[in-house]
Amino acid sequence: MAAVSSISKRVVSVLVVGISAHLAVAQRSQAEIAANGITISEPGVYQLADLYKHSDIVASVKIVSGDTEHYDGAVYKAEVVKNFKGSTSGETIYFGPYVGERLGREYFVFLQNADAVVPKGGSATSYGKVRYSRVFNEGYSSMEIAYKCIFDGHDVSQKCDHGVRVCTDYIKLPVNTPIFPPTDEDTPFGCRWVRKTLFVTLLESVPK
């Protein structure tokens, strides 16, 4: 019985240490996130028209560079390819703060204006002080554009097209919008693809 009691005490001690370590890591991670100006919370659910309404800038952009070293959060430099709201085609904009956007790739971005960002320590190798806009809704207002062969059709020419990655668990498209894979299939983060041409039509039809 004494041996069993000793083993039980050791197991409890291990569990307590393990839980304490896990909490310490979680708290440290939250502190690091807070230090970078990012607060993690449950994303909201937006209809596409409401996402448009809550955005100061809506555009398709091409990311030309990014800086995660000289600012408190990621800052991307992008060229506006097509403006839908709040910018002009060919304009250079700066946005963030989420890491993971791919340099040289195109995105549809829904952005909210924020305070200008200033490099840490006055670094001369950064963009300097720039007008800045924020991706919101926990990053779901930035949508990758890519060529995919997942769409409906009878041959490759019909199945392959430029698409937009929309996380439809949080960004709701109009009813009966064709999305791939369909909603009855599980996908990472609830994200699916819609043809780019159709997505542009949906944006252009949003009441202004």
CB atoms near residue 72 (< 10 Å): 15
Q: How far apart are CA 128 and CA 144, in angstroms?
A: 27
Q: How far apart are CA 7 and CA 161, in angstroms?
A: 62
Q: What is the pLDDT of residue 128?
A: 93
The answer to whether the beta carbons of residues 143 and 164 sit under 8 Å apart is yes
Model pLDDT for residues 57-78, shown as the tens digit of each residue: 999 999 999 999 999 999 999 9
State which residues of the chain have pLDDT below 50. 1-35
The torsion angles phi and psi of 40, rounded to 5 degrees, stand at: -85, 125
Q: What is the pLDDT of residue 122?
A: 72
Q: How far apart are CA 188 and CA 173, in angstroms?
A: 18
Q: What is the pLDDT of residue 60?
A: 98
Q: What is the pLDDT of residue 39?
A: 57
The answer to whether the beta carbons of residues 38 and 95 sit under 8 Å apart is no
Cβ-proximal residues to 4 (8 Å cutoff; 6+ apart), any chain: none
In sequence order, the β-bridge partners of residue 47 are 172
The torsion angles phi and psi of 169, rounded to 5 degrees, stand at: -70, -25
- Tell me the residue type at 34: A
